[in-house]
């Protein structure tokens, strides 16, 4: 009988944000944003463990105050994936087969999206990296650079991610044909260790999208598509929108 693969969820979190400093500790109806994200991610069914990876004592104290788990990392990581890789090495409960990188600034990340990211790697043994996307619902959102777009091949593998609208609409393209990439990544443990040894790439630097490093080095990324609601917090207007959505749920 095959042994069940272990899935570790890691939320990388840093205190200093360029566009919204200190956003991880912003109060969201009585709890810090990072705590809301942690509690939302805990609802996913396929996680065997969930931790926050941070170099901030303030974030650590906030998460642990509400019963969350934290692994302290150095301040060296240049992106979330590198912080996740460092935390994975320090995690000792079990040896994970799959590691999920869950963005700390998405307090309403659907648990079903987290589970789908894991399922893509659990079902396809040859797959090494996965993520998820959802169709755009408003055409006005497609031109926002903060909402990343992805195009896929017929097998559900990512062709490219961009902050620009892709595909280019030479003819009419229905709004829902544009896919909004959610801030979730899944990796096999071996590929995660390999990724952080890869050199940063030109397109990664141009778009400021870390997943392009994998594509430019020739690795495939599976993309699961579903109807997901999300509320990423990068700027104050997005924080206010997330506050309103959380208030409805409370």
Each residue's pLDDT tens digit, 5-15 = 999 999 999 98
Question: What pLDDT, on the 0 to 100 scale, is given for residue 2?
Answer: 59
Compute the distance between CA of residue 108 and CA of residue 19 in angstroms, rounded to an integer: 20
Question: What pLDDT, on the 0 to 100 scale, is given for residue 46?
Answer: 98
Percentage of residues in the chain having pLDDT higher than 90: 82
User: What does the pLDDT look like over 177-219, one tens digit per residue?
Assistant: 999 999 899 999 999 999 999 999 999 999 999 999 999 999 9
Question: What pLDDT, on the 0 to 100 scale, is given for residue 181?
Answer: 97
Compute the distance between CA of residue 131 and CA of residue 229 in angstroms, rounded to an integer: 15
Per the prediction, the chain carries an average pLDDT of 94
Question: What pLDDT, on the 0 to 100 scale, is given for residue 247?
Answer: 86
- In this predicted structure, the answer to whether residue 237 has a pLDDT above a threshold of 90 is no
Compute the distance between CA of residue 22 and CA of residue 58 in angstroms, rounded to an integer: 10
Compute the distance between CA of residue 21 and CA of residue 131 in angstroms, rounded to an integer: 27
Q: Report helix angle 111-123 to 33-41, nearest 10.
A: 50
226 with 134: CB under 8 angstroms?
A: yes
Question: What pLDDT, on the 0 to 100 scale, is given for residue 10?
Answer: 98
- In this predicted structure, the answer to whether residue 169 has a pLDDT above a threshold of 70 is yes
Please give the structure tokens belonging to residue 172: 């009419």
Summarize the confidence of residues 33-58 as an average pLDDT. Answer: 97
How many alpha carbons fall within 13 Å on the CB side of residue 35?
A: 19
Compute the distance between CA of residue 101 and CA of residue 78 in angstroms, rounded to an integer: 14
- In this predicted structure, the answer to whether residue 168 has a pLDDT above a threshold of 60 is yes
pTM: 0.94
User: What does the pLDDT look like over 87-122, one tens digit per residue?
Assistant: 999 999 999 999 999 999 999 999 999 999 999 999
- In CATH, which of 3.90.550.10, 3.30.43.10, 3.60.21.10, 1.25.40.10 is domain 7-125+179-196+228-249? 3.90.550.10
- In this predicted structure, the answer to whether residue 1 has a pLDDT above a threshold of 70 is no
């Amino acid at each position: 009988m095959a042994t069940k693969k272990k899935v570790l969820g890691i939320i990388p979190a840093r205190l200093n944000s360029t566009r919204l400093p200190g956003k991880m500790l912003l109060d969201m109806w009585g709890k810090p944003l990072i705590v809301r994200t942690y509690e939302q991610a805990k609802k996913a069914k396929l996680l065997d463990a969930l931790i926050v990876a941070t170099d901030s004592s303030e974030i650590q104290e906030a998460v642990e105050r509400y019963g969350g788990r934290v692994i302290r990392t150095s301040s060296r990581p240049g992106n979330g994936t590198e912080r996740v890789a460092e935390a994975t090495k320090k995690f000792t409960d079990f040896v994970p087969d799959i590691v999920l990188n869950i963005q700390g600034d998405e307090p309403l990340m659907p648990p079903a999206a987290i589970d789908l990211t894991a399922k893509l790697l659990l079902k396809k043994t040859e797959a090494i990296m996965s993520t998820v996307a959802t169709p755009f619902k408003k055409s006005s959102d497609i031109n926002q650079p903060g909402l990343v777009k992805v195009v896929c091949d017929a097998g559900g593998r990512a062709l490219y991610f961009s902050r620009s609208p892709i595909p280019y609409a030479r003819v009419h393209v229905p709004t829902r044909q544009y896919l909004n990439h959610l801030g979730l990544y899944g990796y096999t443990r071996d590929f995660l260790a390999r990724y952080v040894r890869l050199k940063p790439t030109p397109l990664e630097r141009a778009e400021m999208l870390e997943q392009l490093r994998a594509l430019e080095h020739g690795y495939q990324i599976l993309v699961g598509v579903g109807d997901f609601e999300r509320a990423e917090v990068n700027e104050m207007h997005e924080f206010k929108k997330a506050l309103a959505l959380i208030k409805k749920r409370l």
